[in-house]
A = this chain, B = another copy of it.
Amino acid sequence: MIKKSPTAAVLLIGDELLSGRTRDINLQQIASYLAPLGIPVRETRIVPDVEDEIVEAVNSLRVKYTYVFTTGGIGPTHDDITADAIAKAFGVEISEHPEVTAMLAKRYEEMGTDYTPARRRMARIPHGAQIVANPVSGAPGFQTGNVFTLAGVPSVARAMLEDIGPRLETGAVIHKITIRGRGLREGDIAEPLGALAKEMPDVALGSYPWFRGIGDNGVHLVASTIQENLIPLITDKLEAIISATGVQPERVEDANA
């Protein structure tokens, strides 16, 4: 029997992700961290620094997916409202966590930095939450039920995932192969690809065209399956589909290259 996989959603919080000023990288690094654990990200939302929007998104995602990962809004400034929003979403109180306060006070003392009221805000944790360690900059994230609240700074979010990993139930790992056809057009392979998708229902087949200009276009075909033994067969079939058009198929490790 194949184990049913846990699922994840990612909630990215911050006005500047929506305005286009900042291009998010946290979704990619969370998805890449979870993939080898067999936990696919099934939905992502980006909301502004507005409490009601955060509360609504958290409550809608946490009942639908096994895990929710939020990033952003847990710093010391006035626009950092995520911790309060999470407390509100769970209907719990929030206050300074004694151990976190002690840890931050010690850290700032060692740095010769004042532990100001703004910095104390970073010790405010929803009641009942577990701490998520932040080895990079000290101020922790936290876990409230199935919701993990991480920093928005990518290097900090990445470090926090290491502390979270052991707490997660793992699932069936999805194996992937990507084949590239330079100059290939989707319309040239759509029929045999669709037929193959029907023939192999245990494999998800995706077709991703790129077009950066004349002469720099093509298609990436991606096959995903939890049945690793199907990978050689599906690779041959995808290569044959591309070859039949006269295009030389190429296997790619990093399809973003």
The chain A residues found within 8 Å of chain B, CB to CB, are 14-25, 27-32, 35, 40-49, 53, 75-80, 113, 116-119, 121, 136-137, 152-153, 155-156, 176, 178, 185-187, 189-191, 193-194, 197-198, 204-213, 222, 224, 255-256
Give the chain B neighbours of A119 by CB distance below 8 A: 187, 190
A–B Cβ pairs within 8 angstroms, 11 of them:
A16-B206, A18-B43, A18-B44, A20-B35, A22-B256, A43-B45, A76-B190, A77-B186, A116-B187, A117-B191, A155-B212
Other-chain contact of A207, B35, B77, B207 (Cβ < 8 Å): B77
Question: In the complex, are the beta carbons of B190 and A118 less than 8 A apart?
Answer: yes
Distance to closest chain B CB from A215 (angstroms): 13
Query: Interface of chain A, helix or strand or loop or mixed?
Result: mixed
In the complex the two chains form, is A46's CB within 8 Å of B27's CB?
Answer: yes
- Chain B residues in 8 Å Cβ range of A121: 190
User: Could you say which of B46, B79, B185, B207 contacts A44, with CB atoms under 8 Å apart?
Assistant: B46
Q: Which of A53, A156, A208 has the most CB of B within 10 A?
A: A208
Instruction: Please name all residues of chain B whose beta carbon is closer than 8 Å to the beta carbon of A113 when the two chains form the complex.
Output: 185, 187
Cβ contact within 8 Å between A197 and B78: yes
Bound-state CA distance A164–B151 (Å) is 36
- Can you name the residue of chain B whose Cβ is closest to the Cβ of A15? B206
| CB pair B205 A79 closer than 8 Å | yes
Q: Is the CB of A207 within 8 A of B31?
A: no
Determine how close the nearest CB of chain B comes to the CB of A192; give it in whole angstroms: 10
- When chains A and B are docked, how far (Å) is the Cα of A256 from the Cα of B189? 38
Contact A136 B211 (CB under 8 A): yes
Interchain CB contact (< 8 A) of A153 among B22, B53, B209? B209
Chain B contacts for A22, CB-based, 8 A = 208, 255-256
Residues from chain B with Cβ under 8 Å of A31 in the complex: 18-20
The answer on a CB contact under 8 Å between A46 and B43 is: yes
Closest B residue by C-beta to A174: B19
Cα–Cα, bound, A191→B204 (Å): 51
New contact pairs (10) apart from A14-B208, A44-B46, A75-B186, CB-CB < 8 Å: A18-B42, A19-B31, A19-B41, A23-B23, A27-B46, A43-B48, A77-B186, A78-B193, A79-B206, A153-B209
- Which of A20, A80, A118 has the most B CB atoms < 10 Å from its CB? A20
